[in-house]
């Protein structure tokens, strides 16, 4: 298997952009990626593209989206495919691109994601997001995306004694991190009191426990590691990458206080990279709801089952802590343009490992091995990646 490197990365700001369509959003991220390649790049060298997208505007251009976008940026001739796996669409696009390079099929490949979520009504948006669960047994029975994760949170609190304040501590941390991120949708610091007083959504959640709907795009350029130095002296290497699945409906699972798909994907990624959870120095994890980040701590091996609260109370996962988590602001505050999310995590890690965070206050000191974690829906799929910077 060939070693895989990332040599370029770019993304848009995340937020509400009524004046931009999916083609314009994608082009913005693509052009930023081109500028990030240190020695320049002839785009005609790119051989394939894998583009994550759930729906791009609740049904807009569902068919042939990938060739549409590649034609828009002047690459109509390359092999291009849309990848859909709910909220993990971007992660699976990145995984597909990495596998294609690792297998020796291509030497230079784009992994990208794009989503246009802010052009539909709130009611239609809730229906649209519900398709990521079991339609027959969950959505058509009246459940929402927030409602499914709220069930997980309630069970977790009952089983492990997690306090309501711990959920809010995740929101406070991630909003604080997003404050310094020029790409983030919500650059607004909140207090614990603010987070506890939010408008109710689905017990025990309030509005501050939920990630937003977002417009946005992200692009990374992957290549065979043997040619990475022809593009940059500072490649970022993908040391481990894996995906896994689980039952889609949560009533079919043995437990709903963690995600088996995450645990399986993480175990495979750690094994491939030859590292342990304790070797990770920072991570971008899937916090579509505050409980999702809390469950990820144990699923990724950062703590024992049921003890995530310790990491929050001890400040371990803050920017200045031993294991910063969601330094970007995470889905919760950076934003969650579904198809772009998993690729956007790789963009964040690429900039951190190269010491290029736009705001100096955001740059982590001496970042080592990094991890990104992207979940589809309520845990039916998960993708985990482990990264190392190049000397």
Residues 111 and 191 reside in one and the same domain: no
Q: Which parts of the chain have pLDDT scores under 50?
A: none
List the structure tokens of 118: 């802010």
Residues 152 and 289 in one domain: yes
Q: Do residue 156 and residue 73 come from a single domain?
A: no
Determine how many CB atoms are found less than 10 A away from the CB of residue 250. 23
**Number of neighbours of residue 329 by Cβ within 10 angstroms:** 28
> Burial letters for 209-228: b for 16+ Cβ neighbours within 10 Å, e otherwise?
bbbbbbbbbbbbbbbbbeeb
d(CA 28, CA 53): 16
Q: Is 336 an annotated catalytic residue? A: yes
The boundaries of the domain holding residue 341 are 141-212+242-382
- Residues with Cβ within 8 Å of 11's Cβ and at least 6 positions away in sequence, in order, are 29, 32, 183, 216, 217, 218, 219, 340, 343, 344, 347
Q: Is residue 296 domain-shared with residue 334, that is, in the same domain? A: yes
Judgement on whether residues 92 and 160 belong to the same structural domain of the protein: no
Check whether residue 171 and residue 278 sit in a common domain. yes
pLDDT, one tens digit per residue, over 40-55 is: 799 999 999 999 998 7
> Is the same domain home to 44 and 154?
no
Do 372 and 315 belong together in one domain? yes
265 token code pair: 């994907």
Report the CATH number that the domain containing residue 359 is assigned in CATH.
3.40.47.10
Claim to verify: residue 220 and residue 99 sit in the same structural domain: yes
48 domain residue, yes or no: yes
Are residue 148 and residue 195 in the same domain, yes or no?
A: yes
Q: Is residue 92 part of a domain?
A: yes
- The answer on 98 and 40 residing in a single domain is yes
> How far, in Å, are 73, 142, 312, 318, 370 from residue 373 at the CA level?
29, 29, 19, 17, 10
**In this structure, are 222 and 311 located in the same domain?**
no
Whole-number pLDDT of residue 88: 97
53 catalytic? Reply is: no
Q: Evaluate whether residue 391 is within a structural domain.
A: no
**Residue 134 confidence (pLDDT):** 83
Domain-embedded: residue 232: yes
Q: Which of 87, 223, 288, 303 is catalytic?
A: 87
Q: Choose, from 166, 175, 177, 336, the residue flagged as catalytic.
A: 336
């Amino acid at each position: 298997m060939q070693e895989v490197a990332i040599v370029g990365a770019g993304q848009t700001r995340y937020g509400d952009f009524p004046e931009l369509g999916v083609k314009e959003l994608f082009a913005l991220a693509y052009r930023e990626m081109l500028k990030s390649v240190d020695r320049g790049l002839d785009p005609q060298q790119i051989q394939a593209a894998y583009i994550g997208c759930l729906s791009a505007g609740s049904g807009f251009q569902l068919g042939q989206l990938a060739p549409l976008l590649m034609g828009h940026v002047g690459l109509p001739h390359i092999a291009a495919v849309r990848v859909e796996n709910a909220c993990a669409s971007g992660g699976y696009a990145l995984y597909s691109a990495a596998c294609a390079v690792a297998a020796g099929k291509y030497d230079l490949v784009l992994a990208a994601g794009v989503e246009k979520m802010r052009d539909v009504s709130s009611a239609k948006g809730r229906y649209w997001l519900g398709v990521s669960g079991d339609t027959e047994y969950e959505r058509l029975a009246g459940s929402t995306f927030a409602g499914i994760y709220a069930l997980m949170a309630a069970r977790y609190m009952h089983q492990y004694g997690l306090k309501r304040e711990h959920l809010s501590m995740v929101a406070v941390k991630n909003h604080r991190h997003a404050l310094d991120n020029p790409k983030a949708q919500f650059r607004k610091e909140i207090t614990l009191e603010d987070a506890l007083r939010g408008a109710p959504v689905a017990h025990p959640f309030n509005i501050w426990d939920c990630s937003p709907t977002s417009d946005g795009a992200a692009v990374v350029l992957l290549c065979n590691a043997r040619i990475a130095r022809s593009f940059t002296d500072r490649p970022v290497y993908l040391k481990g990458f894996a995906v896994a699945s689980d039952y889609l409906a949560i009533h079919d699972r043995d437990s709903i206080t963690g995600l088996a798909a995450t645990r399986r994907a993480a175990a495979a990624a750690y094994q491939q990279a030859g590292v342990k959870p304790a070797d990770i120095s920072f991570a971008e994890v899937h916090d579509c709801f505050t409980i999702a980040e809390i469950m990820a701590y144990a699923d990724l091996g950062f703590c024992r089952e049921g003890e995530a609260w310790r990491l929050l109370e001890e400040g371990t996962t803050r920017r200045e802590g031993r294991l910063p988590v969601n330094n970007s602001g995470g889905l919760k505050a950076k934003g969650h343009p579904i198809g772009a999310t998993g690729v956007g995590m790789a963009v964040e890690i690429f900039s951190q490992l190269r010491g290029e965070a736009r705001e100096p206050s955001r740059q982590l000191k001496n970042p080592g091995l990094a991890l990104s974690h992207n979940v589809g829906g309520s845990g039916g799929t998960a993708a985990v990646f482990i990264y190392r910077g190049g000397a």
